[in-house]
Amino acid sequence: MSIYDEREVSNILKYYFTDKFTKAQLNDDEYVALEITKDIQRFKNHEPYQYIVEKAFFYNRLFYVDRRVLIPRPETEELVSLVLDHLERQSPEKINLLDIGSGSGCIGLTIALESQNQSNISVALLDLSEEALQVVQTNSKMHNLTPLILQMDFLDQRQWDNIPKSDIIVSNPPYIDHSEKNSMEANVLEHEPSIALFADPPILFYEAIARFAAYQNVRSKIFCECNPIYIKETFKVFEENGCKEIEIRKDLQGKDRFICATYTPELTL
């Protein structure tokens, strides 16, 4: 799960000087040199460069990020593409989209921005972390969007009545097992929020998402980024909770990374 993507490094660094320093500060060579030295040391200490410059590219747009949220990965861009491909095949009616575990908000906000019928899509961004939702607010203002922002513990079913009925559910939830720590990079373990990385068990959030789809009892399409190691268990969770048309999709690296599913309420006579 590398966060260093060569395609964006050269692009993102050009924002370093323009955003970090005022014009007056840029004229103070000693001050600039000191600040750059500090940031170089942060980088040497394995801190991701996205946190240092407080910027990350996602789907060809800049988003604000800091240590309160995960840094968006290229695989998650593929998750967004799956949702957008689905939206292109839909009639231009009003659609309610729910992004569960939104983090920086890059998934839900990007879908809203990229949707061909932007005026017909309503986005709700849900996260447990108040700090993460502060980042969502920053990114919403940056991109001139006004999503519904929900702070709640999604694993607590008693709070589900406070969530709008959703036609599309998208999520990149915590899905890493603690046993995988030994294979992870130091820059991730030491700097990114563990609450957004690890789940015990790794299918914990998928069980909640599948149950929520049944609980809200409307036809909904579900798109999730998943841990390839537990893809079979994740598939089974959606199957056991009444979802249909369940598909496993591979990422560009050939890993079983995504699940798409449909929940349709049963007709009662």
Q: What is the pLDDT of residue 63?
A: 96
Q: Within a domain: residue 131?
A: yes
**Domain shared by 108 and 56, yes or no:** no
Q: Within a domain: residue 69?
A: no
Q: Within a domain: residue 1?
A: no
**Domain shared by 93 and 34, yes or no:** no
**Domain shared by 258 and 143, yes or no:** yes
Q: Within a domain: residue 195?
A: yes
**Whether the predicted pLDDT of 10 surpasses 60:** yes
- Residue 195: which pLDDT band, with cuts at 50, 70 and 90? very high
Range of the domain at 32: 6-63
Mean pLDDT of 58-77: 95
Mean pLDDT of 90-99: 86
Q: What is the pLDDT of residue 13?
A: 67
User: Who wins on pLDDT, 187 or 171?
Assistant: 171
Q: pLDDT for 127-146, tens place per residue?
A: 999 999 999 999 999 999 99
Specify the residue for token string 């980042």.
135
Taken as a whole, the chain contains a residue count of 269
Record the pTM: 0.90
Q: Within a domain: residue 184?
A: yes
**Domain shared by 154 and 235, yes or no:** yes
- Residue 8: which pLDDT band, with cuts at 50, 70 and 90? low
**Domain shared by 88 and 182, yes or no:** yes
- Residue 12: which pLDDT band, with cuts at 50, 70 and 90? low
**Domain shared by 30 and 130, yes or no:** no
Q: Within a domain: residue 269?
A: no
Domain end call among 22, 43, 63: 63
**Whether the predicted pLDDT of 79 surpasses 90:** yes
**Domain shared by 17 and 106, yes or no:** no
**Average pLDDT of the chain, as a whole number:** 90
Sheet hosting strand 121-127, strand order edge to edge: 148-151, 121-127, 95-100, 168-171, 220-225, 256-263, 244-250
Give Cα 89 to chain centroid, integer Å.
23
Q: How far apart are the C-alpha atoms of 249 and 207, rounded to whole Å? A: 19
SS3 (DSSP) at 102? coil
**Whether the predicted pLDDT of 179 surpasses 80:** yes
CA distances from 184 to 2, 7, 36, 38, 197 (A): 9, 22, 28, 26, 11
Domain end call among 15, 31, 63: 63
Q: What is the pLDDT of residue 268?
A: 46
Q: How far apart are the C-alpha atoms of 212 and 224, rounded to whole Å? A: 14
**Domain shared by 239 and 202, yes or no:** yes
Q: Within a domain: residue 68?
A: no
**Domain shared by 175 and 216, yes or no:** yes
What are residue 95's phi and psi, to 5 degrees? Answer: -125, 130
Candidate from 10-19, 88-97, 249-258, 259-268 with smallest mean pLDDT: 10-19
Instruction: Find out whether the peptide bond into 201 is cis, omega within 30 degrees of 0.
Output: yes
Q: pLDDT for 235-258, tens place per residue?
A: 999 999 999 999 999 999 999 999
- CATH number at 146 reads 3.40.50.150
**Whether the predicted pLDDT of 4 surpasses 50:** no
**Domain shared by 246 and 132, yes or no:** yes
113 burial via Cβ count (<10 Å: 0-12, 13-18, 19+)? middle
**Domain shared by 125 and 258, yes or no:** yes
**Domain shared by 128 and 187, yes or no:** yes
Domain end call among 63, 89, 112: 63
**Whether the predicted pLDDT of 267 surpasses 70:** no
Strands (E), 73-186: 95-100, 121-127, 148-151, 168-171
Q: What is the pLDDT of residue 266?
A: 78
**Whether the predicted pLDDT of 27 surpasses 90:** no
Q: Within a domain: residue 161?
A: yes
DSSP letter at 226 equals -
Domain count, the chain: 2
